[in-house]
Amino acid sequence: MDKKTGVYICTGCSIGESLKVESLSKVATKEGKVPVCKTHPFLCGAEGVALIKNDIESEGVNTVLIAACSPRVNYDVFEFDSSVIMERVNIREQVIWSQPANDEDTQMMAEDYLRMGLAKVKHIDVPEPYQGVDMVKTLLVVGGGLTGMSAALEAAKAGYKAVLVEKSPVLGGWMNGLFKQAPRKVPFTTPEEVDIAEWIKQVEAHPDITVYTSAEMLEIAGSPGMFDASISHNGATVKERVGSVVLATGAVPYDPTKLDYLGYGKYENVITSQQMEELASKGKIVRPDGKEVQSIAFIQCAGSRDPEHLPYCSATCCVESLKQASYLKEQNPEANVFIFYKDMRAAGQYERLYQQVQKDGGIFVRGEINGITEDGDKNLLIEATDVLSGATIATEGVDMVVLANGMVPTTAFGEDIAAKADAEEDAKEEDGPKPEIIRKSNLLNLAYRQGPEMPTLKYGYADSHFICFPYETRRTGIYAAGSVRAPMDELSSVEDAAGAALKAIQCMESSAKGVAVHPRVGDMSFPDFAMSRCTQCKRCTVECPFGAINEDDKFNPLPNPTRCRRCGICMGACPERIISFKNYSVPMIGNLIKAIEVPDEDEEKPRILIFACENDAYPALDMAGINRLNYNAWVRVIPLRCLGSLSLVWIADSMSQGIDGIFLLGCKHGDDYQCHFIKGSELAEIRLSKVSETLNRLDLDSERVRMDQVSITDYDKIPAMLDDFAEKLNELGPNPYKGF
Q: Rounded to 5 degrees, what are φ and ψ at 85? A: -75, 130
Main-chain dihedrals φ then ψ at residue 525, nearest 5 degrees: -75, 155
* Per-residue DSSP letter, 435: P
Sequence-ordered alpha helix ranges (H) in 234-367: 273-281, 317-331, 350-359
What pLDDT is recorded for position 449?
86
- Whether residue 490 contacts residue 460, with contact meaning beta carbons closer than 8 Å, is answered with no
Q: What is the pLDDT of residue 516?
A: 94
Confidence of residue 691 (pLDDT cuts 50, 70, 90): confident
pLDDT band, residue 415 (cuts 50/70/90): low
Rounded to whole angstroms, how far apart are CA atoms 158 and 627?
A: 43
**φ, ψ dihedrals at 662, nearest 5°:** -125, 130
What residue ranges do the domains of the chain occupy? 1-126, 138-252+411-513, 256-399, 527-581, 583-739
Output 400 or 451, whichever has higher pLDDT.
400
The three-class DSSP label of residue 81 is: coil
pLDDT bucket at 427, cuts 50 / 70 / 90: very low
Helix, strand, or coil here: 527? coil
pLDDT tens column, 132-147? 999 999 999 999 999 9
Is pLDDT above 80 for 440?
no
Average pLDDT over residues 479-485: 95
Q: How far apart are CA 514 and CA 585, in angstroms?
A: 20
> Model confidence over 81-110: pLDDT tens digits?
989 999 999 999 999 999 999 999 999 999
Q: How far is residue 385's CA from residue 489's CA, in Å, rounded to a whole number?
A: 29
Q: Are 262 and 309 in contact (CB under 8 A)?
A: no
DSSP string, 191-242: -EE--HHHHHHHHHH-TTEEEE-SEEEEEEES-TT-EEEEEEETTEEEEEEE
Contact (CB, 8 A) for 88 and 68:
yes
What whole-number distance in Å separates Cα of residue 388 and Cα of residue 367?
8
For position 417, what pLDDT does the model report? 55
Distance in angstroms (rounded) separating the CA atoms of residues 725 and 719: 10
pLDDT at 423: 44
CB 517 within 8 A of CB 408: no
Residue 462 is predicted with a pLDDT of 86
Rounded Cα–Cα distance for residues 7 and 106 (Å):
20
DSSP 343-379: -----TTHHHHHHHHHHTT-EEEEEEEEEEEE-TTS-
Residue 543: name the closest of 648, 647, 427 by CA. 427
Share of the chain above pLDDT 70, in %: 95
Confidence of residue 725 (pLDDT cuts 50, 70, 90): very high
Lowest-confidence region among 337-351, 630-644, 668-682, 720-734? 668-682
Q: How confident is the model at residue 432 (pLDDT cuts 50, 70, 90)?
A: low
Phi, psi torsion values for 34, nearest 5 degrees: -80, 140
The rounded distance, in Å, linking the Cα atoms of 83 and 658 is 37
Determine the pLDDT at residue 700.
82
Distance CA 595, CA 114 (A): 9
Residue predicted with more confidence, 432 or 203: 203
Backbone region of residue 616 per phi and psi (left: phi > 0; alpha: psi in -120 to 50; beta: other values): alpha
Task: Among 228-242, 373-387, 453-467, 627-641, name the one with the lowest average pLDDT.
Answer: 453-467
CA atoms within 13 A on the CB side of 209: 29
CATH topology of domain 1-126: Rossmann fold (3.40.50)
Residue 246: helix, strand or coil by DSSP? strand
The answer, yes or no, to whether residue 464 has pLDDT greater than 60, is yes
- The per-residue pLDDT for 378 is 93
User: What local confidence, expressed as pLDDT, does residue 428 receive?
Assistant: 42
* Distance of alpha carbon 592 from the chain centroid: 30
- Of the candidates 708, 691, 688, which has an alpha carbon nearest to the alpha carbon of residue 700? 691
Between the CA atoms of 326, 328, 334 and 340, what dihedral angle is there, to the nearest 10 degrees?
-70
Fold of 583-739: Rossmann fold (3.40.50)
**Strand 363-374 to 380-386 pairing:** antiparallel
Distances in Å between the Cα of 660 and the Cα atoms of 46, 114, 344, 693, 705 are: 43, 21, 59, 17, 9
Dist CA 181 CA 172 (whole Å):
13
Asked if residue 134 lies in contact with residue 225, where contact means CB atoms within 8 angstroms, the answer is no
Q: What is the mean pLDDT of the chain?
A: 92
Phi, psi of 276, rounded to the nearest 5 degrees: -65, -40
Spatial CB neighbours of 104, under 8 Å, sequence gap ≥ 6: none
What is the per-residue pLDDT for 416? 60
Neighbours of 521 (CB within 10 A): 11
Kind of pairing, strands 392-394 and 380-386? antiparallel
- Residue 436 has what pLDDT? 61
Instruction: Give the confidence band of 588 by pLDDT, cuts at 50, 70, 90.
Output: very high
- What pLDDT score does 414 carry? 66
The C-alpha atoms of residue 139 and residue 543 are separated, in whole angstroms, by 29
Report how far residue 54's alpha carbon sits from residue 59's, in angstroms, rounded to the nearest whole number: 7
Q: Cα(736)–Cα(480) distance, rounded to whole angstroms?
A: 54
Please state which of the ranges 169-173, 345-349, 431-435 shows the lowest mean pLDDT: 431-435
311 phi-psi bin (left φ>0, alpha ψ -120 to 50, beta other): alpha
Give the C-alpha separation, 446 to 434, whole Å: 21
Residue type, 619: P
- The yes-or-no verdict on residue 692 having pLDDT over 90 is no
- Confidence band for 413, pLDDT divided at 50, 70 and 90: confident
pLDDT digit string (tens) for 277-294?
999 999 899 999 889 999
Q: State the average pLDDT over residues 447-467.
A: 83
- Alpha-carbon distance of 225 to 135, in angstroms, equals 5
**Domains 1-126 and 583-739 equal at CATH topology level:** yes
Q: Does domain 138-252+411-513 have CATH number 3.50.50.60?
A: yes
Question: Which CATH number among 3.30.420.300, 3.30.70.20, 1.10.760.10, 3.30.360.10 corresponds to the domain 527-581?
Answer: 3.30.70.20
Q: Is the pLDDT of residue 645 over 50?
A: yes
> How far apart, in whole angstroms, are the C-alpha atoms of residue 615 and residue 640?
9
Q: What is the DSSP string of 16-29?
A: HHHS-HHHHHHIII
Mean pLDDT calculated for residue range 555-580: 95
Q: Would you state the pLDDT for residue 149?
A: 98
**Per-residue pLDDT band at 675 (split at 50, 70, 90):** confident
Contacts of 143 (CB under 8 A, 6+ apart): 165, 166, 173, 247, 248, 249, 250, 482, 484
d(CA 595, CA 27): 11
Range name among 102-106, 415-419, 607-611 with the lowest pLDDT average = 415-419
Whole-number Å distance between alpha carbons of 273 and 404: 5
Query: Which one of 3.40.50.300, 3.50.50.60, 2.102.10.10, 3.30.230.10 gives the CATH number of domain 256-399?
Result: 3.50.50.60
Query: What residues are paired with 384 via a beta bridge?
Result: 369, 393
Which pLDDT score is estimated for 26? 97
What type of residue sits at position 166? E
Q: Whole-angstrom Cα distance, residue 689 to residue 700?
A: 15
The pLDDT-based confidence of 455 (bands split at 50, 70, 90) is confident
